[in-house]
């Protein structure tokens, strides 16, 4: 059974929505309070953190964002309704091309924001290193918003791909 455009849109929306929700949960589960423990030499301070799941939710958000982009890319060029349209024909449509490339750009930006923050959190937890938590939380929040933008751009690319198929 061939996938319909509505099914493709539903899959991309679901994956993008879960990516956004995971990023928001990761922001809400952020490190806020640590317990400083002075070292034996008096010059070092080690921090003990409560158990947090922000790193897990951050990586899950990135995984769902990658899945959303993969399915978006596959579905844009997927032959449905018995029509296989060559990529060069699809890329001749200016609206589709612009939306397609912007969707990839926002995916890269979003993945960068989410991964940078999540990896820094993981390093912060494992190495007990002090750094600015407010800046990192804001970056993760921006990444969660951009995951919604990326999903919407993939939906627009699917719409333009359907129009390009109709003209072919």
Q: What is the pLDDT of residue 63?
A: 92
CA 134 to chain centre: 20
Q: What is the pLDDT of residue 124?
A: 72
Supply the pTM of this predicted model. Answer: 0.78
Q: What is the pLDDT of residue 49?
A: 61
Q: What is the pLDDT of residue 105?
A: 93
Q: What is the pLDDT of residue 102?
A: 92
Q: What is the pLDDT of residue 31?
A: 59
Q: What is the pLDDT of residue 10?
A: 83
Q: What is the pLDDT of residue 85?
A: 74
What string of pLDDT tens digits covers the 168 residues of the chain?
Answer: 456 777 888 888 888 888 888 888 887 776 555 555 666 666 566 666 656 677 888 888 899 999 999 988 888 887 776 667 777 877 888 888 898 899 999 999 999 988 888 887 787 777 665 544 444 556 777 888 888 888 888 888 888 887 777 777
Q: What is the pLDDT of residue 1?
A: 41
């Amino acid at each position: 059974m061939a996938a319909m455009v509505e099914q493709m849109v539903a899959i991309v929306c679901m994956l993008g929505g879960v990516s956004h929700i995971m990023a928001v949960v990761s922001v809400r589960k952020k490190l806020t309070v640590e317990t400083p423990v002075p070292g034996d030499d008096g010059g070092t301070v080690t921090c003990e953190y409560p158990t947090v799941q922000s790193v897990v939710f951050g990586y899950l958000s990135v995984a769902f964002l990658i899945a959303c982009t993969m399915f978006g890319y596959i579905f844009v060029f997927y032959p449905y309704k018995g029509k296989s349209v060559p990529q060069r024909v699809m890329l001749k449509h200016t609206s589709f091309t612009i939306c397609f490339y912007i969707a990839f750009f926002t995916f890269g930006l979003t993945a960068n924001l989410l991964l940078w923050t999540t990896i820094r959190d993981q390093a912060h937890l494992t190495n007990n290193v002090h750094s600015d938590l407010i800046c990192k939380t804001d970056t993760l929040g921006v990444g969660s918003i951009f995951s919604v933008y990326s999903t919407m751009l993939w939906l627009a690319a699917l719409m333009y791909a359907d129009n390009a198929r109709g003209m072919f």
